[in-house]
Amino acid sequence: MQPLTATDPRRVGAYRLLYRLGEGGMGRVYLGRSPGGRTVALKVVHETIAGDPGFRRRFAREVRAAQSLRGAGTVPVLDADPEAEVPWLATAYVPGPALSDAVIGHGPLPQEALWRLLSGLAKALAGVHGAGLVHRDVKPSNVLLSQSGPLLIDFGIARSADETALTGTGLVVGSPGYMSPEQAEGRPLGPAADVFSLGAVLAFAATGRGPFGGGSVAELLYRLVHHEPDLRGVESRFGELARHCLAKRPEDRPTVTEIAAATEELAGTGPWLPAPVVVGIAQKAEELLNAEAEELEGKAEHLVRQQASGAVSGPDGVATTALPLHTPPPTAVLAGRSASGPTRARAASSAAPSRRKVAVRALTTGLGKPLYGLFFLIPVVALLIGGFDLLDRAAQYPSESEQQSGAHQWAMNDWWRFPVTLLLFGAMAWLHVYRKRLMTVPPVMVRLWSAGVGLYWIALMAGTALHLAWFMIVHEDMPYEAGEHPLLWVAMPVIIIGTGVSPILLIASVLRIVRA
């Protein structure tokens, strides 16, 4: 773990960044903390490639592929935003090295670890293939070593098994030295392509070198297609299985289910990693614990300073009464193991609002406040009352109300005006009352409420327009000798003000929702 630099962001989505874990051609990986206190690994794309539509499609495909997998041997995706200005992906944090780093740093794996590696990766690929996917990029750097077994990561170029092309003709996507011959030649791929890559990974883990040597990309691709793999130094039975996986023809390779069954008895269930790798994992875990302790200590000191000043910010940022100054400082509480979990959860929850709170706050501002509909409902009531007066006048002067125009006949048939007004008032009242429950109801109800608010505003503006049209038609046919109906002087200014304010509120609401 490396400290954040001045150019690194401090927050991505709802996650606060703590350290930098690494960097590759696609982006940087950070250690982050969720609002609930969970430690995550955040992959943040480089800004230079975030604007490429083709890359965004591949990144979104990685998210979908990874989220569709829930089996053993894969790292779960917790959150992602492929549509963000800088796309990102959050997965569970695994304090273990990549297979490539472990072998380069500590040498090839021993025989027991190799069988466990083969069994774990075969089961992980069985889950991938069972979901109808082909990983397409199985290589040592995409295998993490944990105490419980190997974990397969990075589904950036995974595709459905029935899709035959990834990119344009002649463009090869994958890792030279670990891709299959059919992948190197741009032919259609199936699950057998991942089996070939698995064999190459096994050879690397057993010898510390790739089975097709090094050199340029062109040399590697040529050897993949035309040369036999170099498996010198690989133990006989393990070497036979690796050679079977590295068969040139896809139909000659075993399936991952067959591999998993063949290695079940040899894999074992106890500790499997060499001592130097275990020590490295322990050191990473210790660094993580120290980082958490420093974070909690900083929050505790900040809380003590707030107490000394006489006010402590509550969850919504509102000042509340401070704890007595003789209350033991939080650092004393943190020293006990039994209190560390709840304290950490409280500290994390007070550090940043939850995603639900941010979303509800965005949805209930601007036009998300149904009471703003009074801008339209007040003139609707005025037009409704004035309409009764006009109908009375029509009854007194029947000669003036016998016009045969379609508009006039529609206007005189006014049965709908009172029910529509009641429905609009009822919708406003229900939406306003229900918005107070949005923090506790299921997410689907929040989305339905948001859609209801949109329909409410459409119906409100349409109802106002219909009432105004009705009033103008009847008023034109039933004029007063003294001039215009006095209710127009009340209704029209309010309608103009409401119509002018509503777009402003609508734009403000959209901006808040987009930012949230």
Measure the CA angle with vertex 197, ends 196 and 198; round to 5°. Answer: 90
Q: What is the DSSP string of 79-96?
A: EEETTSSS-EEEEE---S
CA distance 196 to 212: 12
Which residues does the chain have with pLDDT short of 70? 25, 70-71, 156-174, 291-356, 386-413, 474-516
CA distance 148 to 164: 35
pLDDT number for residue 402: 53
Q: Any idea what DSSP says for residue 478?
A: S
pLDDT number for residue 320: 43
Count of CB atoms within 10 A of residue 500's CB?
A: 10
Q: Do 394 and 416 form a contact (C-beta atoms < 8 A)?
A: no
Tokens representing 277 are 């790798």
Strand pairing category for 149-152 and 143-146: antiparallel
pLDDT number for residue 507: 64
pLDDT number for residue 306: 65
CA distance 125 to 255: 10
3-class DSSP state for residue 311? Answer: strand
3-class DSSP state for residue 16? Answer: strand
pLDDT number for residue 387: 66
**19-28 burial code (b ≥16 CB/10 A, e <16):** bbbeeeebbb
pLDDT number for residue 435: 80
CA distance 487 to 253: 86
CA distance 141 to 290: 27
159 phi and psi, to 5 degrees?
-140, 160
Instruction: Supply the mean pLDDT for the chain.
Output: 75
Q: C-alpha distances in angstroms, 363 versus 431, 439, 447, 454, 516?
A: 12, 12, 10, 11, 9
DSSP element (H, E) containing 479: none
pLDDT number for residue 505: 61
pLDDT number for residue 211: 93
Q: Do 380 and 424 form a contact (C-beta atoms < 8 A)?
A: yes
Could you identify the residue written with the tokens 């923090």?
439
pLDDT number for residue 272: 86
Tokens representing 439 are 């923090």
CA distance 479 to 52: 65
137 carries an active-site annotation? yes
Residue in 79, 137, 194, 477 annotated catalytic: 137
Q: Which runs of consecutive H residues, i.e. helices, occur in 172-216?
A: 181-184, 191-207
Could you identify the residue written with the tokens 């039975």?
237
pLDDT number for residue 439: 74
